[in-house]
Amino acid sequence: MKSMTGFAHHTISENGLHGTITLKSYNNRFLDISVSLPPSAAGIEPHVRDFLGSRIARGKIECTLRLRKLEASLEDIELHFQSAKILSEQLRSLAEACQIDDRPSLDVLTRFPGIVEMNTEIDEAGLWQSLVPALEETWREFEESRVREGLATETNIMSQLERLQSKLTEIEAQADTLEQLVHDQIVARFKELLAEKYDESRVLQEVAVQLVRLTINEEIERLKAHFEAFRLMSAQPSCGKKLDFLCQEMNREVNTIGSKNMLVAISHAVVEMKDALENIREQLRNVE
């Protein structure tokens, strides 16, 4: 089992690329991928989504990429000399018109848009190739965190499954007593209505009909099969939804036993089984 909640944070520093990748996930019924990238790297979002979508089946996962700096070269800086010259002349004219003895400094000129431009375009294919190793490492750490939490969840779930099996064993031990009680009640009812004079074959027929309606042997056997299927299914990847459905089937069988029951011991066991199933389903909300 893997938990749907996980976290990993990885620092990138290679090929002139500096930044961080963060992965975190939460419980969700379906797969919901959220990707946050800097504007200069927006083009690689489909690659990131494909990367994550091929590795996770359920949950809300957030991937955040922060690029603090990309190494720049002289070719990345473009100076617009003619624009700067025109701007400088206009600013001097403005100063003369206002009778201000001042000349525009280089600091002032470079603050105006279009004088100095940085080429921030990134080769998206190259960027993605540089990111893949870091993303793979982040994913490995992320998976480790999900597996650790998943193991703890699985331990809890299996302890509740043991509790279910224990209570089913108690119920099974009472099954013959329940059938005998049904038999005795029908015989007593016939005696009461017919004043000791009744047809034994008719009583046996009625007992057989009622036992078919009230026996819990089928429910017990189906629950045993469900328990075995639960253990096998829990070892499969992305088993959360399937196990939750199986718990619904178990709950239906337990409810049927409760509706047929006439013994206090079985009633107590049914309550315990319902509580255990609720605990399992609560834990399964965090299983992928």
More confident residue, 142 or 89: 142
Cβ within 8 Å of residue 8, ≥6 positions away: 22, 23, 24, 138, 139, 141, 142, 144, 145
Nearest of 178, 188, 164, 167 to residue 213 by alpha carbon: 178
Kindly give, in sequence order, each residue whose CB lies less than 8 Å from that of residue 107, ignoring residues fewer than 6 positions away: none
**pLDDT tens profile 216-230:** 889 999 999 999 999
Strand partners, 6: 25
Task: Quote the CA–CA distance of 166 and 189 in Å, as a whole number.
Answer: 35
Residue with tokens 């337990």: 254
Cα–Cα distance between 3 and 25 in angstroms, integer? 9
Contact 104, 91 (CB under 8 A): yes
> What are the phi and psi torsion angles at 99 (to 5°)?
55, 45
CA nearest neighbour of 164 among 45, 280, 25, 5: 280
**97 within 8 A of 134, measured Cβ to Cβ:** no
Q: Residue 254 burial (CB < 10 Å; 0-12/13-18/19+)?
A: buried
Q: Measured between alpha carbons, how far is 168 from 272 in angstroms, rounded to an integer?
A: 10
Binned at pLDDT 50, 70 and 90, residue 196 comes out as: low
Q: Could you give the CA distance from residue 266 to residue 175 in angstroms, rounded to a whole number?
A: 9
In 3D, which of 277, 218, 271 has the Cα closest to residue 244? 277
* One-letter identity of residue 219: E
- Whole-angstrom Cα distance, residue 145 to residue 161? 24
Residue 196 φ/ψ region, left for φ over 0, alpha for ψ in the -120 to 50 degree band, beta for the rest: left
Token representation of residue 20: 């961080």
3-state DSSP call for residue 247? helix
Between 90 and 255, name the one with better pLDDT: 255
Q: How far is CA 107 from CA 102, 104, 165, 237, 255, in A?
A: 14, 8, 79, 61, 80
pLDDT of 122 > 90? The answer is no
**H-run or E-run covering 74:** none
Over range 179-184, report the average pLDDT. Answer: 76
User: 3-state class of 203 per DSSP?
Assistant: helix
Identify the weakest region by mean pLDDT among 5-14, 86-95, 196-205, 271-280: 196-205
Tell me which of 41-50, 85-94, 180-189 is least confident. Answer: 180-189
Are 182 and 210 contacting, i.e. CB atoms less than 8 angstroms apart? yes
pLDDT of amino acid 84 = 84
pLDDT grade, residue 52 (50/70/90)? very high
In the chain, alpha helices (H): 45-53, 81-97, 106-110, 124-194, 200-214, 217-234, 240-260, 264-284
